[in-house]
Chain A
Amino acid sequence: MPSNPLALTLCGVALNNPVIAASGTFGFGHEYAQIMDVSRLGAICGKGLTLSGSAGNRGMRVYETPSGMLNSIGLENPGVKHFVEHEASYMRTLGPAVIANLGGHCEEDYLEGARLLNGADIDILELNISCPNVKAGGMAFGMLPDTAADITKKVKAISKHPVMVKLSPNAPDLVAVARACEHAGADALSLVNTFLGMAIDVKKKRAVFENVYAGLSGPAILPIALRMVHQVAHAVQIPVVGMGGITSAEDALKFLMAGAVAVQVGTMTFANPNAMLAIIDGLADYCTSEGLQNLQEIVGII
């Protein structure tokens, strides 16, 4: 039997392909499992968790922009304990590798969350220091190299799972944050989370979102995200998972060529639930037409 040209290993975890459902766009898999073949995905990142859970932000939460969307969900989630007791085992039944995404208000929340997640059957912990919509999302931790390194080091010391740190494109010096996380022991990096944006309702003469600012995602951010992935991937030795506006296999290939070993797809799933499956098919076709033994051969060629 010929080997799977899309296969890869990420943080010691075997993935069937490099296409990962991005956190916050796929729940814990229940909803999309009803309408698409989720078993074909490389991995699923669960909804961002906070220690005690949250009802999320008030007011408008999603707002479309040219080729993209702003969101201010505010990490509505059932809490780490609920995830450990109910969702992790469900996600395991789906087939793809299981990634839990953990945010936090403060250091204690992150560490207690990481401790609780040791009791869950997950493959990778994605450390979210980049949610722009709530203080609890931890973007404060992800803005500067020192704070990012500090929380990464402490979570690494507690977690029995590999730790992939999800970075914010809003950091003034993203490459410095990436390097700091690597030095602090991160097993991988994922980037980018959403860009801080804004919308104004001119008729009502007020900001669309109660938090005023919100996170921008979708194809509109792709060129900037791609540039950032390229910069970070060339600055660190650990694997980088790229994301930001990917809608097609061609987009995914751009991120791989820029240096990402895998990609996450989020906003496009909202527009077309089958987009990730089409991307996987497209990547397989690419391997065939280019005569690649493994897609990883093109990682970082640019």
Chain B
Amino acid sequence: MAEVIQNEPIANGIYRMVVSGAPLGRAGQFHMLRMPGTLDPLLGRPISICEADAKTGETTFVYQTVGRGTAQFARLLPGQEIEAQGAYGNGFPLIAGNAVLIGGGIGTAPMLQLAKELRADAPSRRIDVYLGFREEAYLEEAFTRYADSVTLNIGGYVVSDVNFSRKATFYACGPSPMLRAAVIAAEQANASLFVSLEKHMACGVGACLGCTCQTTNGRKRVCKDGPVFDYREVQDAI
């Protein structure tokens, strides 16, 4: 259980919720969030960690209202409780050297905590962030706290802004077409790319097998073995 500290829209259909208590975890991991005591909707919603602050014990989730579950979250007021199970999933690896972060739409959210961890891990590394949005940008200012550059693309193809020939580790989270484009570009440049996948899931812990995908190393569960994978492993699953 966590207490909602803040829950406000930051763009059309996009909310930023700060909670205090249980959650935390690290970049790329997620929590199953759920309205306490309700049986409808029944299942938790996998929401990735946007920011985790160990000092204050506060965790920030940025989520999009796409259905009944997230619409309920949007109505939560400060002081109310939200049920949270987690942190689940493997999270992003922090690879030494420069980093390029690519976020598309709500896939931008986990990239913020990644930028924060990469910066804390090596203050001298170069971090370049590329964010793509269909109509309206959000979170872009928060990235400037950790990144050396933040490039915005509104209405276009964010992957086309990125030079994959650079010597860096690439990280991407966003809609499938964006990830597919990133995979093709990374392959052509023989770049190192980690992608965070999203799939419908029921349990979030690897038990229901609702989110498995075919990888080069057999079948894997996006929730438990992922959501972060080396793109070479999951090329056929994106």
A26 is an interface residue with CB less than 8 A from chain B:
yes
A71 with B202: CB separation less than 8 A? yes
Most chain A beta carbons < 10 A, residue from B85, B200, B210 = B210
Nearest A residue (CB) for B221: A31
A219 within 8 A of B: yes
B residues 164-217 touching A (CB-CB < 8 Å):
200-212, 214
A271 B207 Cβ-Cβ under 8 A: no
> Are the CB atoms of B39 and A219 closer together than 8 Å?
yes
B202 engages A76 (CB within 8 Å): no
Question: In the complex, are the beta carbons of B208 and A270 less than 8 A apart?
Answer: yes
Bound Cα distance from A35 to B84, whole angstroms: 13
Chain B interface residue bracket vs A:
20 to 34
A271 touches B208 (CB 8 A): no
The CA of A35 and the CA of B201, in the complex, are separated in Å by 17
**A62 located at the interface, meaning its Cβ lies under 8 Å from any Cβ of chain B in the complex:** yes
A271 touches B34 (CB 8 A): yes
Complex Cα distance, B201 from A67, in Å, reads 16
CB distance from B35 to the nearest CB of A (A): 10
B window 45-82: CB within 8 A of A: 67, 69
Tell me which residues across on chain A come within 8 A of B41, comparing CB atoms: 64, 66
Report the minimum CB–CB distance from B204 to chain A (whole Å). 8
Question: Which chain A residues border B44 with CB–CB below 8 Å?
Answer: 270-271
Which single member of A27, A56, A69 contacts B202 (CB below 8 Å)?
A69
**Which of A26, A63, A76, A268 contacts B200 (CB under 8 A)?**
A63
B224 on the interface (CB 8 Å rule)? Answer: yes
With A32-B207, A73-B208, A76-B219 already in contact, the answer to whether A64 and B214 are too (CB < 8 A) is no
A25 at the interface (CB under 8 A from B): yes
A171 to B76 CA separation, bound complex (whole angstroms): 43
Q: Does B96 contact A (CB under 8 A)?
A: no
Q: Which of A25, A60, A64 contacts B207 (CB 8 A)?
A: A25
CA–CA, A294 to B205, complex, Å? 34
Tell me, in angstroms, the Cα distance from A271 to B40 when the chains sit together.
Answer: 11
For residue B11, give the distance in angstroms from its CB to the closest CB of chain A: 22
Q: B122 within 8 Å of A by Cβ?
A: no
Task: Report yes or no: A218 in contact with B42, Cβ–Cβ below 8 A.
Answer: yes
**CB of B117 within 8 Å of the partner chain:** no
Bitwise interface map of A from 216 to 227 toward B, beta carbon under 8 Å scored 1, else 0:
001100000000
User: A179-214 interface mask toward B, CB cutoff 8 Å, 1 = contact, 0 = none?
Assistant: 000000000000000000000000000000000000
Contacts of B34 in A (CB 8 A): 271-272
B43 at the interface (CB under 8 A from A): yes
Known: A271-B42, A271-B44. A31 touches B211 (CB 8 A): no
Binary per-residue interface labels of chain B (13-55) against chain A in the complex, 1 for a CB within 8 Å, 0 otherwise: 0000000000000000000001000011111100000000000
Q: In the assembled complex, which residues on chain B have CB atoms less than 8 Å from the CB atom of A27?
A: 206-207, 209
Contact yes or no, A76 B203, CB < 8 A: no
Instruction: Please name all residues of chain A whose beta carbon is closer than 8 Å to the beta carbon of B40 when the two chains form the complex.
Output: 66-67, 219
Q: Is the CB of B85 within 8 A of A76?
A: no
A56 touches B208 (CB 8 A): no
Asked if A1 is an interface residue, CB under 8 A from chain B, the answer is no
In the complex, which residue of chain A has the Cβ closest to the Cβ of B219?
A55
B140 at the interface (CB under 8 A from A): no
The one of A47, A69, A247 in contact with B43, judged by C-beta atoms closer than 8 angstroms, is A69
Asked if A269 lies at the interface with its beta carbon under 8 angstroms from chain B, I say yes
B83 at interface by CB-CB < 8 Å? yes
Residue in chain B with minimal CB distance to A62: B210
Chain A residues within an 8 Å CB radius of B214: 55
Q: Which residues of chain B are near A271, meaning CB under 8 Å?
A: 34, 39, 42-44
Q: Once the chains bind, are B42 and A69 in contact (CB under 8 Å)?
A: yes
19 of the cross-chain contacts (CB-CB < 8 Å) are: A24-B208, A25-B207, A25-B208, A27-B209, A31-B206, A60-B200, A61-B209, A62-B201, A64-B42, A64-B69, A67-B40, A69-B43, A73-B208, A73-B209, A76-B209, A219-B42, A269-B203, A270-B42, A273-B205
Binding site for B on A (CB under 8 A): 24-27, 30-32, 34-35, 47, 55-56, 60-64, 66-69, 71, 73, 76, 218-219, 247, 267-273
- Complex A-B, nearest 6 residue pairs according to Cβ-Cβ distance, in ascending order: A62-B210, A270-B203, A67-B40, A31-B206, A270-B202, A27-B207
